[in-house]
Amino acid sequence: MRYWRGGVLTALGIILTVILSIPLGPVPAILPLLNPAPQGIWSGAKGAVPQGAGTLNLSGLIAPVRVSYSTGGVPHIFAQNNHDLFF
């Protein structure tokens, strides 16, 4: 019985993969959109480069905020209060 359940779940997974890979009329195939390769949804993030050194004046800030990026591109935000931190 345990193997039967695993076989059914495997078959459902394969069927779902096939269904999501086929465009249905005007609706494009959804599965390729999740692919991190060049045609996937993450392809737009490739060109996103954090701003280098510079100053921005934002009207909603109460105090100065410093943002620095690590070598991996992770932003580190240093603010004097929670309002500015989450702004």
Query: In the chain, where are the structural domains located?
Result: 1-47, 49-87
Residue 81 DSSP label: S
**pLDDT value for 18:** 85
Residues 45, 29: Cα–Cα separation, whole Å? 21
**Residue 75 and residue 49 in contact, taking contact as beta carbons nearer than 8 Å:** no
pLDDT tens profile 38-66? 666 666 666 666 677 778 888 999 999 99
Long-range contacts from 6-15, C-beta under 8 angstroms, 24+ separation? none
CB-based contacts of 41-44 (< 8 A; 24+ apart in sequence): none
pLDDT of residue 44: 64
* Between 84 and 1, the higher pLDDT residue: 84
With a CB cutoff of 8 Å and minimum separation 6, the contacts of 71 are none
